[in-house]
Amino acid sequence: MRVKRERTETDVALMIGIGQRVRMIRESRGWAATKIDAAAQCGRGRVGRIEKGERLKVSALTLIRIAAVLDVDLHWLVYGRTHRELKGDAHGLGPVCASANSPRCSISAPRVVNPTSV
């Protein structure tokens, strides 16, 4: 049985921050949200809902794909800081990969399409 957890202010603030960062990068590149949806293989309109803070449940895979399409560090996308800045902080994350394509990382990034070619 699944236990429903109440959303906390921290959850909401985290998702609003992610949405703001996605929009900032997307707009700086002149890309439409629908292009990011297609390139990241997200559902239609998902990126727009993330940007507006309407989508509070987002899978890790979706965030990884969006970060890859935008060519930004996943940790920066989520926390507003890079992994080096997070290393050893109060979150207790310890050393983490800068990106899925880092030579120190055993995780391979999903194949994504450049939104300018969609």
Average pLDDT score over residue span 109-118: 52
In terms of Cβ atoms closer than 10 Å to its own Cβ (0-12, 13-18, 19+), residue 67 is buried
What domain range is 75 assigned to?
Answer: 9-117
Flag whether 2 is in a domain: no
Count of domains forming the chain: 1
CA distance linking residue 20 with residue 24, whole number of Å:
6
Query: Model's pTM, two decimal places?
Result: 0.67
Six-digit token string for 103: 């030579």
Q: Looking at residue 87, what is its pLDDT? A: 61
Q: Looking at residue 8, what is its pLDDT? A: 78
CATH code of the domain containing 64: 1.10.260.40
Most confident of 45-49, 92-96, 98-102, 103-107: 45-49
Flag whether 51 is in a domain: yes
Q: Give residue 57's region: left, alpha or beta (phi > 0; psi -120 to 50).
A: beta
Flag whether 113 is in a domain: yes
Flag whether 1 is in a domain: no
Q: Are 38 and 32 in contact (CB under 8 A)?
A: no
pLDDT tens column, 56-76: 788 999 999 999 999 998 989
